[in-house]
RNA sequence: GGCGGGGUAGCCAAGUGGUAAGGUCGGGGUCUGCAAAACCUCUAUUCGCGGGUUCGAUUCCCGCCCCCGCCUCCA
């Protein structure tokens, strides 16, 4: 089956072909976090989805050029820096650092670039874009000194979200006392400096101020990837107004359409059936979950296992299920390695297992559930083979097959070695077993369990494995 | 009010005009000093509700209900 994705713009599944004439390079832009607090797992649902997309494209032979922006200037970052009595950069720096750490914990591939809105070259790019938009009468400076996009001059405005502008209803979420605008829907490209901005501001042809949120993505995407992109992702809440505005700005400047060929948006995450919020106490960050004893890959699996366009209900039961599923995967790999090492690895030529069911499922708009279903069917199949005994070449073939899948899933445990204390306890238990001292043997097993190690007895002696692996 | 996404077993979740993948949990079995793991096996006469089309619908059509989101700076 051909690779296809659901494009928000057309609301249809479309076959994927990148703009690159050789069909190899994929230009992908992903909206990143606003660095005013630690990102929460809802944010990471989107980033894990984007990671799955990138890894699958790479598995299919594409070279993905991905950019993820960091929004480091907006109302919230300014408010935070003033509350903390810190310069803006010093306020946002730790959150940027924490974000990179979280990406690593979740095994999310690093983007090729993480541009930040306050970098001089992007401020300059934004100012240049706004100037062009004003020249083309797509933007104007209002009496309040801010510069706004004139949405009535861009007929396509509203097409991504499929909104009829005449029927929009104010939600009161944003202050609507902006009487200076020609149309209530006009959005800010450049925000004139205000008292509460403190020392945050840049010089511009329109006076001191700061960029609007939407223009930064247009400027950074076009600076780093060119005037037209293949894929642009984000959460569904970004469809309107953010991505709609990006189209208006980018196409308004370049004159080239479409700015983005495939728009992919992921649904929201709920926690125990409810919207995440600080007042409900269900607002989780990655460090919160790690502190509760869950590993990065358990969280990754939990966020990954539901199709990106379906709402994901994040629950403790779900995390527990992820843990069990991964434990089964770990045990399967351990058995395969054991079988593989039993033979002469050099002497055998592992035969490639041609099965492509996993990737084929992902070709269909990243159908991860079908893909995982296929993986577990194959795990059962190969476990049966292991039960009846397989040669090392066959075991290696399965490992090679898994390697292809893991390049996309990134769920394999990193090896954990028992420390000295664990080794000593295990040796003591082995001696106790030698004298059939079951009581002592069981006590030591309980103690090892308590320290996070599983102990089991096999024909070839006991086996000690870490229970929860990062 | 407009526009989306979703409603399939205890829970999570694929899927198809021809009779329901997979994960997890639970029961039984093989194995084990006991356990654990793995494997085998059982667990939806049924796919939100009501109509219609059809030899046959969970899948197509019509109407309705419920959950979640967006409607101008939330992934």
Which chain A residues 285-314 have CB under 7 A to strand B? 305-307, 309-313
CA A192 to chain centre: 33
Regarding whether A442 and A374 lie in a shared domain, the answer is: no
The enclosing domain of A110 has a CATH number of 3.40.50.620
Å between CA of A161 and C1' of B49: 30
Regarding whether A75 and A113 lie in a shared domain, the answer is: yes
Regarding whether A218 and A78 lie in a shared domain, the answer is: yes
pLDDT at residue A345, as a whole number: 59
Q: CA A413 to CA A415: how far, in whole Å? A: 6
Sign (positive/negative) of CA torsion A294, A298, A304, A305?
negative
Å between CA of A338 and C1' of B18: 45
> Whose CA is closest to A188, among A202, A171, A174?
A174
A453 Cβ contact list (under 8 Å, min separation 6): A418, A422, A464, A465, A466, A467
Which chain A residues 56-85 have CB under 7 A to strand B? 74-75
Which chain A residues 333-352 have CB under 7 A to strand B? none
pLDDT at residue A337, as a whole number: 87
Residues of chain A with pLDDT below 50 are 171-177, 469-470
Q: Is the distance from CB of A257 to CB of A251 less than 8 angstroms?
A: yes
pLDDT tens track for A335-354: 898 888 877 655 556 688 88
| Beta-carbon count within 10 A of A140 CB | 17
Residue A457: CB less than 7 A from any atom in strand B: yes
Instruction: Domain of residue A62: give its range.
Output: 4-266
Look at residue A10 and tell me if it is in a domain. Answer: yes
Look at residue A363 and tell me if it is in a domain. Answer: yes
Q: Is the distance from CB of A9 to CB of A159 less than 8 angstroms?
A: yes
Residues A78/A80/A82/A88 CA torsion (nearest 10 deg)? -60
Please compute Rg for chain A using Cα positions: 27
ipTM for this model: 0.91
Which chain A residues 312-331 have CB under 7 A to strand B? 312-313, 315, 317-318, 320-321, 324-325, 327-328, 331
Regarding whether A394 and A358 lie in a shared domain, the answer is: yes
Provide the positions of strand B that have an atom within 7 A of a protein CB.
1-6, 10-15, 21-25, 32-40, 67-75
Å between CA of A83 and C1' of B28: 63
Look at residue A129 and tell me if it is in a domain. Answer: yes
Å between CA of A362 and C1' of B22: 15
Domain boundary among A236, A266, A296: A266
CB neighbour class for A50 (10 Å; exposed up to 12, middle 13-18, buried from 19): buried
Closest nucleotide to A173 by C1' from CA: B72
Residue A218: CB less than 7 A from any atom in strand B: no
Alpha helices by DSSP H, listed for A389-467, are 392-409, 420-434, 438-450
Look at residue A341 and tell me if it is in a domain. Answer: yes
Domain boundary among A214, A234, A266: A266
Closest nucleotide to A369 by C1' from CA: B14
Q: Tokens 């060119």 map to which residue? A: A226
Regarding whether A401 and A348 lie in a shared domain, the answer is: yes
pLDDT at residue A469, as a whole number: 41
Q: CA A406 to CA A455: how far, in whole Å? A: 26
pLDDT at residue A460, as a whole number: 72
Q: Is the distance from CB of A434 to CB of A449 less than 8 angstroms?
A: no
Which chain A residues 122-151 have CB under 7 A to strand B? 151
Å between CA of A370 and C1' of B20: 15
| Beta-carbon count within 10 A of A452 CB | 13
Domain boundary among A409, A434, A453: A409
DSSP bridge partners of A341: none
Regarding whether A220 and A347 lie in a shared domain, the answer is: no
Regarding whether A110 and A174 lie in a shared domain, the answer is: yes
Look at residue A257 and tell me if it is in a domain. Answer: yes
Regarding whether A399 and A424 lie in a shared domain, the answer is: no
Look at residue A276 and tell me if it is in a domain. Answer: no
Which chain A residues 234-273 have CB under 7 A to strand B? 234-242, 266-270, 273
Å between CA of A370 and C1' of B15: 9
Look at residue A221 and tell me if it is in a domain. Answer: yes
What is the total count of domains within chain A?
3
Regarding whether A434 and A394 lie in a shared domain, the answer is: no
Å between CA of A306 and C1' of B58: 21
> Whose CA is closest to A324, among A282, A376, A281, A361?
A376
Look at residue A395 and tell me if it is in a domain. Answer: yes
Regarding whether A381 and A292 lie in a shared domain, the answer is: yes
Which chain A residues 1-20 have CB under 7 A to strand B? 11
Regarding whether A437 and A381 lie in a shared domain, the answer is: no
What's the number of CA atoms in the CB half-sphere (13 Å) around residue A47?
A: 28
Regarding whether A106 and A71 lie in a shared domain, the answer is: yes
Query: A272: alpha, beta or left, given left = phi > 0 and alpha = psi -120 to 50?
Result: left
Residue A417: CB less than 7 A from any atom in strand B: no
């Amino acid at each position: 089956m051909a690779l296809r994705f659901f494009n928000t713009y057309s609301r249809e599944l479309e076959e994927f072909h990148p703009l690159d004439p050789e069909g190899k390079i994929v230009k992908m832009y992903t909206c990143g976090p606003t660095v005013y607090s630690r990102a929460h797992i809802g944010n990471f649902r989107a980033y894990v989805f984007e990671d799955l997309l990138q890894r699958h494209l790479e598995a299919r032979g594409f070279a993905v050029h991905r950019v993820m922006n960091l929004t480091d200037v907006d109302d919230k970052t300014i408010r935070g820096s003033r509350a903390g009595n810190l310069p803006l950069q010093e306020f946002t720096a730790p959150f940027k650092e924490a974000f990179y750490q979280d990406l690593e914990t979740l095994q999310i591939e690093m983007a090729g670039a993480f541009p930040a809105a306050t970098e001089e070259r992007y401020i300059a790019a934004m100012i240049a874009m706004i100037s062009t938009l004003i020249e083309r009468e797509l933007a104007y400076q209002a009496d309040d000194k801010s510069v706004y996009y004139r949405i009535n001059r861009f007929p396509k405005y509203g097409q991504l979200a499929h909104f009829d502008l005449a029927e929009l209803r104010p939600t009161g979420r944003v202050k609507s006392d902006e009487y200076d605008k020609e149309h209530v829907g006009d959005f800010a490209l450049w925000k004139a400096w205000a008292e509460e901005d403190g020392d945050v501001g840049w010089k511009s042809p329109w006076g001191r101020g700061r960029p609007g949120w939407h223009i930064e993505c247009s400027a950074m995407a076009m600076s780093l990837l060119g005037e037209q992109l293949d894929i642009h992702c984000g959460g569904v809440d970004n469809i309107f107004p953010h991505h709609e505005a990006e189209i208006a700005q980018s196409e308004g400047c370049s004159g080239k359409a479409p700015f983005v060929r495939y728009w992919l948006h992921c649904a929201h995450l709920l926690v125990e059936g409810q919207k995440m919020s600080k007042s409900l106490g269900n607002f989780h960050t990655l460090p919160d979950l790690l502190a509760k004893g869950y590993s990065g890959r358990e969280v990754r699996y939990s966020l990954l296992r539901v199709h990106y366009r379906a709402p994901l209900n994040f629950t403790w039961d779900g995390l527990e299920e992820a843990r069990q599923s991964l434990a089964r995967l770990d045990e399967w790999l351990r058995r395969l390695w054991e079988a593989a090492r039993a033979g002469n690895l050099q002497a055998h030529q592992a035969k490639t297992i041609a099965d492509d069911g996993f990737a084929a499922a992902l070709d269909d708009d990243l159908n991860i559930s079908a893909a995982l279903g296929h993986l577990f069917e194959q795990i059962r199949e190969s476990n049966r083979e292991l039960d009846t005994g397989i040669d090392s070449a066959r075991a290696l073939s399965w490992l090679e097959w898994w390697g292809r899948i893991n390049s996309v899933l990134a769920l394999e445990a990193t090896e954990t070695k028992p420390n000295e204390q664990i080794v000593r306890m295990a040796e003591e238990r082995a001696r106790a077993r030698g004298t059939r001292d079951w009581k002592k043997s069981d006590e030591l097993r309980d103690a090892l369990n308590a320290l996070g190690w599983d102990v089991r007895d096999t024909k070839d002696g006991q086996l000690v494995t870490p229970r929860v692996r990062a």
